[in-house]
Amino acid sequence: MPLDYRIAIVGAGPAGLSVAGRAAIYDAETGASTPSYVLLEGHTTFAKTIQKYQKGKHVMDEPGFLQLRSEVPFAAGKREEILGAWDNSIGGGLNVRYNAEVVGIEGEKGNFTLRLASGDSVTAENVVLSIGTQGNPRTLGVDGDAESDFVLYTLDDPEDFKGETIVVVGAGDAAIENAIALSDFNTVYIINRRGEFSRAKDGNLNAVLAAINDRDRAFHCRYESSVAAVELPDAPGETGAIVLNTPGGEERLECHRIIARLGTVPPRRFVESCGIEIGSASADAVPDVDRHYQSNVPGLYVIGALGGYPLIKQAMNQGYDVVEFIHGKDTRPADYPLLQDQFSGLPYVMDAEDILELYQQRVPMFKRMNPLAFRELIIESRITVSLPAEELARAPQGGERSTVFVAAGEPVYRNGEFSTTFFTLVEGEVRLQLEQDGPWHQIKPGQFFGEMSLLSGRPRQGDAIVERDSILIETPRRVMVKLMNSNEEVRQGIDRVFIMRALQAAFRPAMSLEELALVADQVQTCQFAAGEVLFTEGETGDCLHLIRSGTVVLSQGGTELVVAQLHSGELAGQMALMGAPLRRNTATAAVRTETLRLGREQFLALVNSEPEHISTLQGELSQLLQYTNSMASQPEAARSIGFLMEQGMGEATNALVIDTSLCVGCDNCERACAETHDGISRLDRESGASLASLHVPVSCRHCELPHCMKDCPPDAIRRAASGEVFITESCIGCGNCETNCPYDAIKLSYSAPPKPGLWSWLLFGRGSGPGEPAGFTPTAESKDVGKKAVKCDACMGRPGGPACVRACPTGAAIRMGPDQFVELVEAR
């Protein structure tokens, strides 16, 4: 039996559209009478993620360095323009089938059967999965629950509905936010399957309870209720009903609309049901595919966000390429020129694809990596070549993405520098210190370094000096984290070296690497959430913790009395192994913390191998004891440190603190911030917590491992070598960083309109004066560009330092890192 299609594409997002666009060109060239491909979309329309964006949202086309290769157009612009262009492409004759949700894929290359939710099936030789990572909304699970005007699974704009009775089903954040927004103009019922709103964020929990109790608001809740049936309206515009199973029996609610927000079914289970393997259990893990985007199931291809490429342009390029591959053309991917550029300064004449292969073989840890993932790693990395000083001057200066030349014998990073990139040595030699002024270690080709800062976010410890004719791959933290999340082997490899080097740095053992590896294998890695206790005052201890990332606070006589804070690379609880086993203080993780737990046996093995180092350890311990003792005798200071730690300052590197006994409330700090940052203040002086004349205003504290950098699609958030975390121009305004920041320090904002200068305000009163204008109206131009994320950049590069501090007339505004907290609280 002949198959229906050569290619079946699942998911009509940008990637899927691009596949269809290219396949259609092939059809036109061969003059096929029926399409050789079908684009199956479970929803009623294409590109539903982008359709859900707010009206007029500016969609960016990062990464800027990559060229678009697709038959379907795409350039940065308004949501409507982009959707309109795609609609035109579809109208030009793409074979799209809507409402065709694929629920199962069976078969093998050359003979796949795709089962649809409607019961139909489609057969195809090859399948391209481009379903993204959003997943499909969970349905009500009763008759009549298909998406319609009456039953909605998304809500674009609450103001679309007025004067209606609307039933919102669900108890998560989305359901609560929708229900509250709708209740401004409608009567709303929210249906909760449980007896409380336990899944919601605190803010939403309080808001929904307030709304339910608010007598002036038509907002009702049905607890412990499930949906028994849906009665569709007879004609559009009339009311239908929903039937509920409530603890008091069945209840029928007549309504104009039902909005179900029951979360989504993540695509992972579906993907695995097709036979595709996902290497790691981590939620961010992506399926392994080869250079042609083919999964472990031959003939089944994975592209776009599902394959780990969340940006529209990348996904569309892959869509084009995958059709080429299916048609047997081994085209060079769109990123080939980028690769060439990166390798341009290497001292050999070789094709970029061959160099790529060579390098992968050189590094044991990367050897078994998926070639596509390795390619991505290289494209996101910088290739660095070291040259003697006299040759360096003659070296060609390439573009931003070309090979980087550095002077041999010079550091690639220095002690104390903030950088979290990861270095892999492919040729030559690097000399490495593990702590400031520590002994030198040699790094040979195939080995890597820089994993300490990668994992802990702390500044570099010790220098790394590159010898002549060395070649290094420098990979950004973001790319390494993604790799470690999806590749267990790489994660373990890095982890193991991290532990060994951490032990070397802390104990300087005189043992061979093999012996050290044996000890390292016995060391246990522990994770603690903020507030979790490592050990408690008064108990008997038999281990110590070497802090790997995060901050641990020691408290004595009550957890709010903090007598010391310890950071990565430092030891906690060593007293139990070096003196009395009775714990003298309680150790608590101030922020999310990872430690290496060493028992007596491992500790003794390490220190006995190098008895000379014991006196150093004893010296450090006695210093810590003197210090904790002094803090314990100043409960007020200890309490203030405890307060700062409670505010998450343990992970800060550069935070604004206001001494309220000096602050006159003039807000000159906020104005200075706005005036030096495009009219938008990045700090809110008055809000934030206070204790005993210390106030922590809402503003960025430049965390050790910035939460905001976790999930930035265009990689717009960077950290300078001097530690400032800042947002570059490539921000696409997605709001991930705003959500991820636990300290509310990032906001999305239009750029402020220009203002008359200072003198025309001073002399003639023109304009609103210095500072962020209250409730300004953005210009049409800035509305076009859209909101972008703004946050404090600690006035990076500004002579004299942070404007907020420099503008404070009384000296109340202070910026500092955790090291200075003690000075601050002891001074009062």
Say how far apart CA 520 and CA 506 lie, in whole Å: 13
C-beta closer to another protein: residue 493 or 802: 802
Q: Annotate 701-735 with b (16+ C-beta within 10 A) or e (fewer).
A: bbbbbbbbbeebbbbbbbbbeebbbbbeebbbbbe
By CB under 8 A, tell whether 208 contacts another protein: no
437 neighbors 414 (Cβ within 8 angstroms): no
C-beta closer to another protein: residue 145 or 659: 659
By CB under 8 A, tell whether 676 contacts another protein: yes
Min. distance of Cβ 808 from another protein in angstroms? 6
C-beta closer to another protein: residue 625 or 666: 666
By CB under 8 A, tell whether 634 contacts another protein: no
Reduced to 3 states (helix: H, G, I; strand: E, B; else coil), residue 60 is coil
Which parts of 213-272 interact with another protein (CB under 8 A)?
215
By CB under 8 A, tell whether 744 contacts another protein: no
811 neighbors 619 (Cβ within 8 angstroms): no
Say how far apart CA 57 and CA 80 lie, in whole Å: 8
Interface with another protein (CB under 8 A), residue from 350, 389, 529, 762: 762
By CB under 8 A, tell whether 649 contacts another protein: no
Interface with another protein (CB under 8 A), residue from 693, 730, 740, 779: 693
Say how far apart CA 534 and CA 596 lie, in whole Å: 11
Give the x/- contact pattern for another protein in 39-78, rule: CB under 8 A: ----------------------------------------
Number of residues that bind another protein (CB under 8 A): 40
- Residues facing 431 on adjacent strands: 442, 465
Q: Which stretch binds another protein (CB under 8 A): 136-144, 425-433, 633-641, 667-675?
A: 667-675
Min. distance of Cβ 795 from another protein in angstroms? 10
Q: Rounded to the nearest 5°, which phi and psi values hold at 638?
A: -60, -40
Task: Provide CB contacts within 8 A for 508, sequence distance 6+.
Answer: 438, 439, 610, 613, 616
Say how far apart CA 29 and CA 439 lie, in whole Å: 67
Which parts of 13-32 interact with another protein (CB under 8 A)?
none
By CB under 8 A, tell whether 765 contacts another protein: no
Sign of the dihedral through C-alpha 181, 183, 184, 187: positive
Interface with another protein (CB under 8 A), residue from 54, 539, 758, 768: 758
Min. distance of Cβ 417 from another protein in angstroms? 25
C-beta closer to another protein: residue 470 or 681: 681
Say how far apart CA 419 and CA 229 lie, in whole Å: 57
C-beta closer to another protein: residue 506 or 803: 803
Interface with another protein (CB under 8 A), residue from 458, 501, 567, 671: 671
Residue 92, token pair as written in the block: 């030009």
C-beta closer to another protein: residue 40 or 814: 814
Min. distance of Cβ 758 from another protein in angstroms? 6
Q: Which stretch binds another protein (CB under 8 A): 15-23, 304-312, 472-480, 689-697?
A: 689-697
By CB under 8 A, tell whether 672 contacts another protein: yes
Residue 228, token pair as written in the block: 């028994």
By CB under 8 A, tell whether 644 contacts another protein: no
Residue 380, token pair as written in the block: 């996101």
What count of other Cβ atoms lies within 10 Å of the Cβ of residue 615? 9
By CB under 8 A, tell whether 648 contacts another protein: no
By CB under 8 A, tell whether 828 contacts another protein: yes
- The helix or strand, by DSSP H or E, that contains position 519, with its residue range, turns out to be helix 513-522
- The helix or strand, by DSSP H or E, that contains position 271, with its residue range, turns out to be helix 268-273
Min. distance of Cβ 703 from another protein in angstroms? 23
Interface with another protein (CB under 8 A), residue from 668, 681, 699, 749: 668
Report DSSP state, residue 771: S
Interface with another protein (CB under 8 A), residue from 659, 704, 738, 793: 659
Reduced to 3 states (helix: H, G, I; strand: E, B; else coil), residue 25 is helix
Task: Provide CB contacts within 8 A for 124, sequence distance 6+.
Answer: 3, 4, 5, 6, 7, 8, 38, 112, 114
Say how far apart CA 209 and CA 176 lie, in whole Å: 10
Min. distance of Cβ 686 from another protein in angstroms? 5
Give the x/- contact pattern for another protein in 787-826, rule: CB under 8 A: -----------xxx--x-xxxxxxxx--------------
Interface with another protein (CB under 8 A), residue from 62, 177, 651, 675: 675
- The helix or strand, by DSSP H or E, that contains position 537, with its residue range, turns out to be none
By CB under 8 A, tell whether 455 contacts another protein: no
Residue 367, token pair as written in the block: 């050897």
Min. distance of Cβ 180 from another protein in angstroms? 17
C-beta closer to another protein: residue 346 or 662: 662
Say how far apart CA 519 and CA 523 lie, in whole Å: 7
Q: Annotate 366-389 with b (16+ C-beta within 10 A) or e (fewer).
A: beebbbbbbbbbbbbbbbbbbbee
Say how far apart CA 765 and CA 551 lie, in whole Å: 50
Task: Provide CB contacts within 8 A for 732, sequence distance 6+.
Answer: 59, 60, 62, 713, 714, 716
C-beta closer to another protein: residue 383 or 813: 813
Residue 666, token pair as written in the block: 């003039």
C-beta closer to another protein: residue 541 or 770: 770
Min. distance of Cβ 672 from another protein in angstroms? 4
Which parts of 580-599 interact with another protein (CB under 8 A)?
none
Which parts of 695-714 interact with another protein (CB under 8 A)?
695
Q: Which stretch binds another protein (CB under 8 A): 96-104, 152-160, 290-298, 663-671?
A: 663-671
Encoded amino acid at 43, one letter: H
C-beta closer to another protein: residue 703 or 805: 805
By CB under 8 A, tell whether 775 contacts another protein: no
By CB under 8 A, tell whether 442 contacts another protein: no
Min. distance of Cβ 773 from another protein in angstroms? 15
Reduced to 3 states (helix: H, G, I; strand: E, B; else coil), residue 779 is coil
Reduced to 3 states (helix: H, G, I; strand: E, B; else coil), residue 515 is helix
94 neighbors 24 (Cβ within 8 angstroms): yes
Encoded amino acid at 110, one letter: G
Interface with another protein (CB under 8 A), residue from 459, 770, 786, 818: 770
Say how far apart CA 554 and CA 645 lie, in whole Å: 11
Gyration radius of the chain's alpha carbons: 30
Give the x/- contact pattern for another protein in 179-198, rule: CB under 8 A: --------------------
By CB under 8 A, tell whether 760 contacts another protein: no
By CB under 8 A, tell whether 141 contacts another protein: no
Min. distance of Cβ 753 from another protein in angstroms? 18
Residues that bind another protein (CB under 8 A): 215, 659-666, 668, 671-672, 675-676, 686-693, 695, 758, 762, 770, 798-800, 803, 805-812, 827-828
